[in-house]
A and B are shown apart, each in its own frame.
Chain A
Amino acid sequence: MSKKRTGAQIILDCLEREGVRHIFGYPGGAVIDIYDELTRRPNLKHYLVRHEQAAVHAADGYARASDQVGVALVTSGPGATNTVTGIASAYMDSIPIVVFTGQVPTALIGNDAFQEVDIVGITRPCTKHNYLVTDIKDLARTIHEAFYIARTGRPGPVLVDLPKNIQQSSIVPEPIDLKAIKIKSYQPTLHCNPRQIKRALDMILEAKKPVLYTGGGIIASNAADELFQFAEALQIPVTSTLMGLGGFPGVHPLWMGMLGMHGTYCANMAVANSDVLIAIGARFDDRVTGKLAAFAPYAKIIHIDVDPSSISKNVVVHIPIVGDCRDALHQLNSLVKKLEPRDWRQERQEWLETVNEWNRKHPLGYKQDKKVIKPQFVIEKLWEATKGDAYITTEVGQNQMWAAQFYRFKRPRQLMTSGGLGAMGYGFPAAMGVQVAKPDDVVIDIAGDGSILMNIQELTTVVEHNLPVKVAILNNNYLGMVRQWQQLLYDRRYSQTDLTSQPDFVKVAEAFGAVGLRATKPDEVEKVIRQAMETARPVFMDFVVDREECVMPMVPPGKATHEMLLA
């Protein structure tokens, strides 16, 4: 037993012990020993990305779809700096990933050595935690701590920087008990205070116009079933943030759609008129609240979140509850079951009728056109063709908002999007990660013609591994969302947003060895989608859409949510 192992061996031993099966990465001088050891690990499948940013987005997509910690492995210096956008995105969206970076040998650290960069310093503000391993004796414990921190509490990315000499030296490793991994200074509160839960429920029972406002915390804590049960039991209408989509079925009578800047009229009006707002696993982001002073002005606010620093950060909360969302909803549901039965359908009728009236007055919609493809139409057709069951990733901008509005997500973990950071170039590599986690399911990246170019090199990766990711490019020859702002807020001065100069995406796909399809008229859309779905290979669908279509409704920046522009 007491055989010496190299650092590189210990690193991969740790990954195997953590149950890791897939790694997204890119080799280099400072991780060459780990890559050498990888040749002897048939259980660890490595996906060679073509840019390190994509490795991190892929690990992020993988983590979201699979509920496992995603892993990326890159070399030092530029390999490490290329991961920063991916890490920052995962940090904003609370996604559990561990990023391993190579580092120059410890003796050279601080020496401005070749491909040296202080990646721990660079990523300190955008990781949940990070480590530089300077002693091989700390190596195994550090890696297991990294996984533990990434997946517990409010999840997030953790980076482990691995100097080359640590990978090359050897020790006799001490036995590791994963259950014994604890950090004395890190003990997230998961169990919610039952007294606070009771107070919250009393407030909810008194409410005449309650609204559930849910976020990514519902997804992260796997609380969708509990949320469903709670909303149904008390007949409370539900809206969610972009990150929370899929946490409540998008085809349910209590579902109001997303809220915020591009939320539905119904959801924003319901929040603006609510008397009790129950925020669960959401963080009152500026894109949700609009002008803070006018957000939910009549509501008492209950806020449930695992991260105490999210509570009362932006708005004053009347009942703060720190803990796991699922635990909170579980406790609430148990209390509800013990209540004297009341006819909530009856009691809630007036409020739900008001909500429905708002929905009838201004439903999500668009003007169909016979000649030009409307981007929303493409998404509706994707929904139909996949029966609403596909895994959807998005890029950032109009494509993202239309996906959020028109693909009615049924289940949690069905949507992966760079919600907080808003990183263009996220969707395609994320889709790759999702497809690795869900090899038998349909995965579609809803993209724009701007975003898709930001990680288009990954066509190589998906072709190499025959990951049959489908990319639907809503091609309006514009950097659409910025153009929309320029149209509405800057007198149509389209500064640097015209993307008419662009490659032929069909030929690009073909050049990389994938399949390229194009639709230029509305009646071609279904055919293209059908053809793509029948193709067991990666496919680019280039939908040439209405150039100046805007995402509506829209709350102009700095305005109150009820002051939204409707069309």
Chain B
Amino acid sequence: MEASKSVRRHTISVWVDNTPGVLSRVTGLFSGRGFNIESLCVAETMDPSVSRITLVTTGDEFITEQIIKQLRKLINTIKVVDLSELGHVEREMALVTVKAEDKSRAEVLRIADIFRCRVVDVSPNTYTLEITGNHEKIQAVLGLLKNHGIMDEVRSGALAIQRAKKD
């Protein structure tokens, strides 16, 4: 194996038939062949007969090439694009309920403001924030909020889209 063995993160878009069992074909492929999935997002596209999966995986060139080829080999797969090879925008979302009492209430709001989070629920001693951004930003916000006490949190996998041609 002469090519490089550098392991990196890949964000892959997969268009599949929107039929029952397709998701388990995709995830079964990953578990059966020992590939790694970091996150996975699936939803219908504008065409209700097609779903689009965004999945994040790590691997060297060989593994990634195999992952893409094996995904393409599934009968229900329409198209596979490794967005990491292209200009793309990536977003994740987190919903997080943070303890916010007397003295920390303003501080939590300030953090939310700086990172352009939205407050989606309020109670006398908590705020629930919606954070969107790339992986690093979400990590950063959660890191700051941790000091105030995170009561509950949920995160999505990554969504990614290719940048449009500019010329």
Contacts and interface: CB of A to CB of B under 8 A. Distances in A.
B73 A183 contact: no
A312 B62 contact: yes
14 contacts: A124-B21, A124-B28, A132-B20, A149-B75, A185-B17, A186-B75, A307-B73, A309-B66, A309-B69, A309-B72, A312-B65, A313-B66, A316-B1, A316-B3
A138 to B, nearest CB: 10
Nearest to A309: B69
A124 B25 contact: yes
A308 B66 CA distance: 9
A370 interface: no
Interface in A303-344: 307-309, 311-313, 316
B31 to A, nearest CB: 9
A19 interface: no
A5 interface: no
Given A309-B69, A312-B62, 20 more contacts: A120-B21, A121-B24, A124-B21, A124-B24, A124-B25, A124-B28, A125-B29, A128-B75, A132-B20, A183-B75, A184-B78, A185-B16, A185-B77, A185-B78, A186-B75, A307-B73, A308-B72, A308-B73, A309-B66, A309-B73
Contacts of A185: 16-17, 75-78
A325 B21 CA distance: 32
B102 interface: no
- Contact-residue bracket for chain B: 20 to 34
Contacts of B125: none
Nearest to B17: A185
Contacts of B139: none
A547 interface: no
Interface residues of A, number: 19
Given A125-B32, A184-B78, A309-B66, A316 B2 contact: yes
Q: Which of B65, B70, B75, B77 has the most CB of A within 10 A?
A: B75
Contacts of B1: 316
A311 B65 CA distance: 10
B21 to A, nearest CB: 7
B2 A308 contact: no
Interface string B1-30: 111000000000000110011001100110
A149 to B, nearest CB: 6
A124 B75 CA distance: 12
Looking at A120, A186, A309, the one whose CB has the most chain B CB atoms below 10 A away is A309
Contacts of B75: 128-129, 149, 183, 185-186
Contacts of B72: 308-309
Nearest to A185: B78
Nearest to B77: A185
Nearest to A307: B73
A438 B98 CA distance: 74
Contacts of A125: 28-29, 32
B13 to A, nearest CB: 15
B118 to A, nearest CB: 38
B89 to A, nearest CB: 26
Nearest to B25: A124
A87 B16 CA distance: 25
Contacts of B65: 312
A128 B2 CA distance: 32
B109 to A, nearest CB: 47
A128 B29 CA distance: 12
A155 B25 CA distance: 19
Interface in A177-217: 183-186
The CB with the most chain B CB atoms within 10 A, among A120, A132, A186, is that of A186
